[in-house]
């Protein structure tokens, strides 16, 4: 079955979304401009980790691994510029996921 890997990926995605804070972060990233200003505009490069951490009210280490989980699930991408890691939604991947959900689930 070539679906075996696809199914495992789906499980990874569902696990990533099965946490209230991570789900909220993914929705927040729909409006990058709602975050505090940064040197590089969030609408272009993504939102700085510090801002996500601040809004979620979690520690820096937790924020970092939350974003790593979302990234491994293919829901966000990370753009490192200087000392900042910027995160934004991977819209093509999310759309593909929506298709996969509609197809298999």
Partner DNA sequence: TCGCTACATCGCAATTCACCGATGTACTGT
Partner DNA sequence: ACAGTACATCGGTGAATTGCGATGTAGCGA
Q: Can you give the binding site for a second copy, defined by CB under 8 A?
A: 7-8, 10-11, 14-15, 17-20, 23-24, 26-27, 94, 97-98, 101-102, 104-105
Could you say which DSSP state residue 27 is in? H
User: Binding mask 39-78 vs DNA (x if CB under 7 A, - otherwise)?
Assistant: ---------xxx--x----xxxxxxxx-xxx--------x
State how far the Cα of 85 lies from the Cα of 94, in Å rounded to an integer.
20
Give min distance, CB of 50 to DNA, in A: 4
The answer to whether 37 and 77 have CB atoms below 8 angstroms apart is: no
């Amino acid at each position: 079955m070539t679906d075996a890997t696809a199914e495992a990926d789906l499980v990874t995605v569902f696990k990533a979304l099965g946490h209230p804070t991570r789900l909220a972060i993914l929705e927040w990233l729909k409006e990058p401009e709602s975050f505090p200003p940064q040197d590089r505009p969030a609408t272009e490069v993504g939102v700085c980790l510090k801002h996500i951490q601040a809004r979620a009210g979690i520690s820096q280490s937790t924020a970092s691994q939350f974003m790593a989980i979302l990234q491994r699930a293919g829901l966000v991408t990370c753009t490192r510029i200087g000392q900042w890691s910027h995160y934004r939604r991977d819209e093509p991947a999310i759309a593909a996921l929506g298709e996969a959900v509609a197809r298999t689930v």
